[in-house]
Structure 1
């Protein structure tokens, strides 16, 4: 097995110079770097990355905390995060919290024990005072979340603007009975989207919407169950905003099974612009969230904080969503009687 001394001899350089090249020392010429690289390739020499990481206090690993791997939104987010991190020489480890405070702390301990260089949190379960203590050991950034008191970089979508935009669009087209499906109330983004929705309804002087609000709805099966509840209402909604495309798909499939016309009897809007939105008949109108832009910005920011060793720096990176118009959002025949 070749050693660093063998590389130095073949390259015609000192062992110290080769060591500097391997450790990305800033004051080594490109010519010497090429000589070292060529010698390593000829000898089949592989640096001991574990030993290097101990010396440098770096692992080349970033932890990403997500609530549910099975959620299509987070699956898409992780895929882009991984590709972007890989392009910058980092590996990701995926940590599923399942909305557990204990699991969240367990994964944050990876930062404390120097097993990762930084942490990207896509949801926050503990009080920020708990998470703040881990900033003594490395950078943490929020992706898809924003916490008012957090002094860390936050990369997120303006969910209040998004919820307001969709509700306003439906209201302007005559809908006054709008159902709303939420995936859960623990996340700030989910709460903000609901606040935006409610703000639009209150502007239109609509206050009696409790019967049309459904919480902890996130799967196709959930959507099917929600539709059965809608069907039995005396004053069924004319439009529905699903917090996830999977829910919208479940609602549409069950509605068609029971003889409803979409969008003739019920206008449906999903969220996240998943592939399934184009496969359902009718195709689902959905809200595009800038996942790719958000993921790329998150990796850019976490890599910068790791390099500069900046652990408590507030930054705000906010992005907007847009509505994709498809068949499930066309004119609704029930509006004649309700508008």
Structure 2
């Protein structure tokens, strides 16, 4: 039983002996000195948009809620509004730093409107997709977003048929859903073409192991090969190596003899499918005393902090001009209104060149 002060006891004085009446919004409003409508606005996230006055009002309401030990009846609220207050995130198995940061942004932005995020992992599996379809049919969430699942079964089609607002982080077809696109293929081609134009003739494309139809073919391998094909007559070559990546990368398949023999006059550039793979390759090169940045270039993908903060910062593909907050603010508004989104977003990736390639192919 929590201790309360005299003002709280006065509110509860009408209760029967031995029982504790659950505090209401009216009790909170009375203690905070505001209207019940203001309390409702604070609970819905619509208060405290601008101005110090609104912030002070919110603070008074929140102090009163804490003092009264007031807990909103979200189940009743959801029943009245025919809303659950939940937004679903549909993702594939496993994680990566970029997706984890995206989920963090989503949680933060949705919380501003008192919405909670529920992550549905591994929805590409048939059984998981069936469970997801059942949840959507039952209205278990008010809105959804999917992250790079356009090649996975019929997830996008099921989501498009659902009546709830949805958005897809996707490069390929997403069954007509509004999309958030980054232009991964264009960025990969830009990196390869830029280095080829600087005179680099030898490339290795290092990717995690992947089967036929994997998105890395479309987003990384194929656009790089196409960009380098224009220099084939000048002796440009590109070898694709698949790396078994679980807890750490098995770098055995890389041609270490060629990498160790490379020099500034005839460098090799490794174009990697992720920053985490590029970091491990660069570290192993340095362990073998390979001159990264002059004899061997390394380019990652994803622009994670660890790549930029190394002793020798890694070049990468990414963008700093993302406004994912805008995406999730729009999705939150749609979750409240029930109206579907009708437009998407583009946050184009580009080459972010750092010390691991800045001097490669340049004549001093």
TM-score with structure 1 setting the length:
0.77
Structure 1 segments unaligned to the other structure (5+ residues): none
Distance 1:253 1:20 in 2: 55
Distance verdict in 2 for CA 1:37–1:279, change over 3 Å: closer
Distance verdict in 2 for CA 1:68–1:129, change over 3 Å: closer
Distance verdict in 2 for CA 1:62–1:3, change over 3 Å: same
| Correspondences of 1:93-242 after superposition (within 5 Å) | 93-97=118-122, 99-124=124-149, 125-128=151-154, 131-132=157-158, 135-143=161-169, 145-148=170-173, 150-183=175-208, 184=210, 186=213, 188=215, 191-205=218-232, 212-215=239-242, 221-222=248-249, 224-227=251-254, 229-231=255-257, 238-242=268-272
Distance verdict in 2 for CA 1:38–1:179, change over 3 Å: closer
CA deviation vs aligned residue, 1:180-238 (integer Å, no higher than 9, x gap): 123446554761343432331123346998961134665683263343x3436899771
Distance verdict in 2 for CA 1:85–1:39, change over 3 Å: closer
CA deviation vs aligned residue, 1:67-114 (integer Å, no higher than 9, x gap): 245311212222222222222322112222185343344345432222
Partner of residue 300, structure 1: 329
Q: CA RMSD in A?
A: 4.1
Distance 1:217 1:289 in 2: 27
CA deviation vs aligned residue, 1:16-45 (integer Å, no higher than 9, x gap): 979987997x9xxxx9xx899599747544
| Correspondences of 1:1-339 after superposition (within 5 Å) | 1-2=21-22, 4=24, 7=27, 41=65, 43-97=68-122, 99-124=124-149, 125-128=151-154, 131-132=157-158, 135-143=161-169, 145-148=170-173, 150-183=175-208, 184=210, 186=213, 188=215, 191-205=218-232, 212-215=239-242, 221-222=248-249, 224-227=251-254, 229-231=255-257, 238-290=268-320, 293-311=322-340, 314-332=342-360
The offset of 1:66, in angstroms, is: 2.3
> What secondary structure, in the 3-state scheme, does the structure 2 residue paired with 1:331 have?
coil
Distance 1:287 1:38 in 2: 44
Query: Higher relative contact order by CA 8 Å / sep ≥ 6: 1 or 2?
Result: 1
Say if 2:315 and 2:356, in contact at 8 Å, map to a contact too: yes
The offset of 1:49, in angstroms, is: 0.7
Structure 2 segments unaligned to the other structure (5+ residues): 1-20, 47-53
> Aligned pairs, how many?
322
In our comparison, the structure showing a higher alpha carbon Rg is 2
Say if 1:65 and 1:123, in contact at 8 Å, map to a contact too: no
